[in-house]
Amino acid sequence: MFFVGLLCTLTNKLTKKVKIQSSHFNFAKTSNFRLSWTEVDFQLSNYWEMQELLRGINIFLIGMMGTGKTTVGKLLAQELGYRFFDTDVLIERVTQEPIDKIFASIGEENFRQIESQILIEVAACTKSVIATGGGVILSSQNWSHLRHGLIIWLDASVELLTARLANDQTRPLLKKTDLTSKLNSLLEQRRSLYTQGDLRIFINENDTPEMLVSRILEKIPSKIVSSLKISKNQN
Ligand code: S3P
């Protein structure tokens, strides 16, 4: 229906370019000759091991507004040589309206339908990190697409989210409301859904996006290996 399929192809070139800028696997450092060849070999084999493990499956970032899905997602994509998509940005591109205007003009229910359609389109790509809107987990139909990839829940305390979102004017659900109690009630409604993700990354106040990406990259192998074991035992 939309145009994301085309984006998958168009972003391929870009993806190849960012691969060598990866810093978790220390490629950036290799260009400064700071690593010995043994270390370069080690980093390269880590990188390819990760590619072998992931086999191109998509990574979906879920979590509340303000958890940094976009910032972390972009960095993670860069580290993995993956494409990056943000469902909110795609919705805005398709509708030519900012999210708060969409909510005001057609209402949340219609927004959710567009969001689901966009999710279907991006989920059809491979090798992509996808930052989703905080409410994407509300629809069971959406889960059938999320489940094709690795789902990472970025979790943060309501205190931290309140501090981050105090001056935000872009999120319609947080307008004209007591921020802390609204975040508490949204998290209360959604927590049991977020916990259905494959990995939970808890965000502390002083965590940088780089630290979070490193933590994600460290946790991915054990998660994939354990799910491979489960599916092997099921067969
Ligand atoms: C929403 C989160 C927003 C956006 C919309 C609704 C939600 O995305 O999709 O305002 O229901 O939590 P972010 O999580 O990227 O802020």
SS (H, E, C) 53-65: HHCCCCEEEECCC
Residue nearest to atom 4 of ligand 1 (CA): 133
Q: Mention every residue, 6+ apart, whose C-beta is less than 8 A from residue 175.
A: 100, 169
Nearest Cα residue to 70 out of 130, 145, 13 = 130
Looking at residue 25, what is its pLDDT? 63
Looking at residue 202, what is its pLDDT? 98
CA distance 154 to 142: 18
Average pLDDT along the chain, 235 residues, taken 10 residues at a time: 60 46 53 58 75 94 98 97 97 96 97 98 97 98 97 98 96 96 98 98 97 95 76 66
Residue of 85, 94, 95, 99 with the most ligand 1 atoms within 8 Å of its CB, for mutation: 99
Largest CA distance in the chain: 59
Asked if residues 72 and 212 have their Cβ atoms less than 8 Å apart, the reply is yes
Looking at residue 13, what is its pLDDT? 46
Looking at residue 54, what is its pLDDT? 94
Whole-number Å distance, alpha carbon 135 to ligand 1 midpoint, is 6
Helix pair angle (87-95, 99-123), 10° resolution: 110
Looking at residue 14, what is its pLDDT? 45
Q: Mention every residue, 6+ apart, whose C-beta is less than 8 A from residue 49.
A: 221
Q: Which two tokens stand for residue 148?
A: 């094709």
Looking at residue 130, what is its pLDDT? 98
Looking at residue 28, what is its pLDDT? 45
Pocket of ligand 1 (CB under 6 A): 65, 69, 88, 99, 133-135, 171-173
Looking at residue 37, what is its pLDDT? 62
Domains defined for the chain, CATH in brackets: 4-222 (3.40.50.300)
Looking at residue 228, what is its pLDDT? 65
In this prediction the pTM is 0.87
